[in-house]
Structure 1
Amino acid sequence: MLNKQLLLTLSLSALLLAGCSTTHYISITPQANVATKNLTNDRVIKVSTSTQLTNSVGSIKTALNERASIYTTNDINESVKESVLSGLRRLGFTPEQGVMPPADFKIEITKMSYVTKVETLKTVATLDFELKATLTAKGQTYTANYGSQKIKEYGTMPYQQDTEDNMNDLASQTVKRLLSDPNVIILLK
């Protein structure tokens, strides 16, 4: 009986020390949480998005040696573009209507990361999401960078849904910053 308990204890200890590995598949769908306004545009607004990033967002390693790789499952270019267009419409703009040539609104997704480090018995995660926007309208070009960062602490592996919610919250904050930039609003009016 004593040998069975010892064997069980050693087995459980080995399992804990070995950790477990998993994969978190998340969908990045930022929401343009801007206040509804009655702005208008006289030119068509052409929104395009691009990125050099892959679908790998990062990884999680906890103090308990749990591991998870994080990957996106959707087209982030399309989801950011749809979020910006939705936000422009909430502001009152009609991107598809107006005279030509269009206002050219180029958005590059420059950073999307989830990085962890272990500190004693807790895991500290640093989440980042950054955009670079270049708007050419009314004979002017305006370029700006927008970013958001979040620090999370936890003891064990977060659920996949929590990882997705945190990254989407960060992406939404960044899109809101872009759409709240007064220089962008002035050039689009």
Structure 2
Amino acid sequence: MLNKHLFLAISLSTLVLAGCSTTHNIEIKPEIKVSSSSLTNDRVIQVSTSTLLDSKVGSIETGIKETANIFATNNISQSVNDSVMKGLRELGFTPDQGVMPPASLNIEITKMSYVTEVEKLKTIAKIDFEIKATLAAKGQTYKSSYGSQKVREYGTLPFEKDVESDMNDLASQTVNRLLKDPNIIILLQSN
């Protein structure tokens, strides 16, 4: 019996010293926060979204050797596209109605990362989300980049829901910056 307790204590100590490894699966869904408006468009608004990024967002390693790989579980391009379309409608636009050729808004997700470094027993996470937009409308082309960044500090491995919340907060801020860009609004509005 004593040997069983000793074996159990040694096994638990080994697990604690080795740390634990897990996977955080997160879903990216930017939330739109624009004021409803009565903007109108005379041309169809065509929105396309793409990315060369894969589903791995990053990883976490804490000072006590806990680790987690972070993966996006949904189609991020489609999720950002859906959010932009929802935002355009909330602004009053009717993207699927109007004359041709369409106003063309191309969005590229260029960065979505969660990177950590350890300072003694403190884990510092740097979280980024960036997009580039190119709008061709009214005979003009407008290009812009939008990004958001957050720094978080942890003592132990953060929960999956907290990682997801942080990444969605940045994705939301970034998409809302695009939707509030006055140059985008002007080029999409009716003359």
User: TM > 0.5 between the two?
Assistant: yes
- Equivalents in 2 of 1:173, 1:158: separation in Å? 22
Where 1:80 maps in the other structure, the secondary structure is helix
Deviation at 1:16, TM superposition (A): 1.7
**2:33 counterpart residue number:** 33
**1:127 counterpart residue number:** 127
**1:165 counterpart residue number:** 165
Give runs of aligned pairs for residues 77-156 of structure 1, distance below 5 A. 77-156=77-156
Where 1:92 maps in the other structure, the secondary structure is coil
Where 2:157 maps in the other structure, the secondary structure is coil
Deviation at 1:14, TM superposition (A): 2.3
Write the deviation string for residues 56-94 of structure 1: whole angstroms up to 9, x where unpaired. Answer: 000010111000001111111110000000000111111
Where 1:158 maps in the other structure, the secondary structure is coil
- Equivalents in 1 of 2:140, 2:107: separation in Å? 16
Deviation at 1:150, TM superposition (A): 0.6
Where 2:37 maps in the other structure, the secondary structure is coil
The code of the aligned residue for 2:116 comes to T
Write the deviation string for residues 10-52 of structure 1: whole angstroms up to 9, x where unpaired. Answer: 4443222201100011110111111111111111000000100
Deviation at 1:113, TM superposition (A): 0.4
The code of the aligned residue for 2:52 comes to Q
**2:42 counterpart residue number:** 42
TM-score (normalised: structure 2): 0.94
Q: Is 1:59 equivalent to 2:59 in the alignment?
A: yes
- Equivalents in 1 of 2:4, 2:90: separation in Å? 66
The code of the aligned residue for 2:76 comes to I
Give the percent of matched residue pairs that are identical in Structure 1 and Structure 2: 66
Q: Is 1:178 equivalent to 2:178 in the alignment?
A: yes
- Equivalents in 2 of 1:23, 1:5: separation in Å? 31
Unaligned runs of at least 5 residues, structure 2: none
Deviation at 1:186, TM superposition (A): 0.5
- Equivalents in 2 of 1:2, 1:120: separation in Å? 37
Write the deviation string for residues 136-186 of structure 1: whole angstroms up to 9, x where unpaired. Answer: 000000000000001111111111111111111110000001111111001
- Equivalents in 1 of 2:118, 2:137: separation in Å? 47
Deviation at 1:2, TM superposition (A): 9.2
- Equivalents in 1 of 2:25, 2:8: separation in Å? 33
Where 1:53 maps in the other structure, the secondary structure is coil
CA RMSD of aligned residues (A): 1.6
